[in-house]
Amino acid sequence: MKYNHEIVVITGASAGVGRATAHRFAREGARVVLIARGSTALDAAAKEVRDMGAEALAIPVDVADAVQVEAAVERIEQEFGPIDIWINAAMATIFAPVSEITPKEFRRATEVTYLGTVQCTMAALKRMRARDRGKIVQVGSALAYRAIPLQSAYCGAKFAIRGFTDALRVELMHEKSKVTVTMVQLSAFNTPQFQWARSKLPRRPQPVPPIYQPELAAEGIHYAAHHQRRELWVGYPAVKAILGNKLVPWLADRILAKQGYSGQMDKQPVLADRPDNLFDAVDKDFGTHGRFDDRSRRFSPQLWATTHRRVVAVGVLGAVALLAHGWLRRGMDDRH
């Protein structure tokens, strides 16, 4: 293990992408602070970090509560020291058509996913700006660019996070601050959110295939935390959705109108006792992965290429040189 002793704070760290990210930083010896609402899963995630040989501090926090967030940051800096990296991965959502979502449900999903990100960023930034160093990573989604049906609350929050982050980035640039902020836009991942997010769909919700394992997202987040990238896209589906929406949004509308409902549900009915974490944490440890292990990919050529741009550039230049050499040889042979 390489001990770097970075102090890294991860919200939404009790499951899914947040938990996988905690594992990724723990493997390099970072001092990891895990923030989430549910104590059972949070404690289990912290134990995993410690079992990897890293220090862990688990703090139950509802990121929608600014007072809790501020108290947590004070405790972190007192017990662990100055925060180096803050990663916002906490989220809450609801799967339902707009017509079936109540104002209270919309408000709650927005308070956790969007305002939680804003409040955590502000609390971390207050300390980082004073020290003129630090990195904030917002965990976003392709849905921050291309909204889809049945996830209006989540899409709205992710769009808002992107707007907030873009504005903040420019403000930091104007101040010539050494604090940096980046956003990681993810594809579909195999996380437990599809088992505990509130749903009013007739069948079990699922991510739109292709699906990736959370560890791949963690690799992208770890890379973004240590490199100067405005944004990092993880997985070819994110690239396709973002660029496709920029070029032909009307086509995406039509495709989603036909496939956006069925693509987000499997064939099994929703169980009557299905847990729901929109307003209160589910007191159960679901782990890092969701129920889609047999359908999930562990590697993305797109992510490898975007995190190895120099290697790719050298390879492209080499291929061009070989082609040019071949053309030149054929041209000389033709002359003779």
Residues involved in catalysis: 154
The CA distance from 139 to 117, in Å, is 9
- Residues β-bridged to residue 56: 32
Residue 13 CB burial class (10 angstroms; 0-12, 13-18, ≥19): buried
- Residues β-bridged to residue 9: 33, 86
**Strand locations in 169-216, DSSP E?**
180-186, 188-189, 198-199, 203-205, 211-212
Question: Cα–Cα distances in Å, from 182 out to 53, 167, 225, 229, 244?
Answer: 28, 12, 8, 7, 22
Q: Which H/E stretch holds residue 85? A: strand 85-88
The number of C-alpha atoms within 13 Å of 289 and in the hemisphere containing its C-beta is 13
The CA distance from 172 to 178, in Å, is 8
Question: Cα–Cα distances in Å, from 124 out to 19, 58, 62, 70, 180?
Answer: 20, 17, 16, 9, 12
Q: Which value, to the nearest 10 degrees, does the dihedral of the CA atoms of residues 290, 292, 297, 303 take?
A: -40
Residue showing tokens 């299905």: 274
Residue 173 CB burial class (10 angstroms; 0-12, 13-18, ≥19): exposed
- Residues β-bridged to residue 11: 35
